[in-house]
Amino acid sequence: MIINNIDLYKDGGTVKVETNEGIFYIDRRIGTETKGGVYDDYPKRGNIMDNGEEIKQSLYNSLEGYEHPFYKNIESIREFIKPKQR
């Protein structure tokens, strides 16, 4: 998976990740009941994805070497995307 762009929403932390395999939204909103869930659209409009942990693992791994002109500290983004430890 190749990450094309990352965007953070001002709603408390929803992360939008655009990749060569699609666009994914990680729910990090304040007070959400689905914190860490992966959606196919913005969480209020989209559906939570069953394979969210697998997607987060792929995104997490794809951040290696990724550079963004605004988000200089990609490690902080990795914390948003980090999958659950097994």
DSSP codes joined into one string, 10-34: TTS--EEEEETTEEEEE---TT-SS
Inter-axis angle of helices 52-62 and 74-81, to 10 degrees? 170
Q: Does 18 map to a domain?
A: yes
Q: Is position 69 within any domain? A: yes
Which CB contacts under 8 angstroms, 24+ apart, belong to 37-43?
A: 42/9, 42/14, 42/16, 43/14
| Reported pTM | 0.82
Instruction: Answer yes or no: is 11 within a domain.
Output: yes
Q: Which residue range is the domain that position 33 belongs to?
A: 3-79
pLDDT in tens, the chain (86 residues): 998 888 888 877 788 999 999 999 999 888 889 988 999 999 999 999 999 999 999 998 888 777 766 665 566 676 767 777 65
* Residue 33, in any domain of the structure: yes
Residue 49 lies in a domain: yes
Give the total number of structural domains in the chain: 1
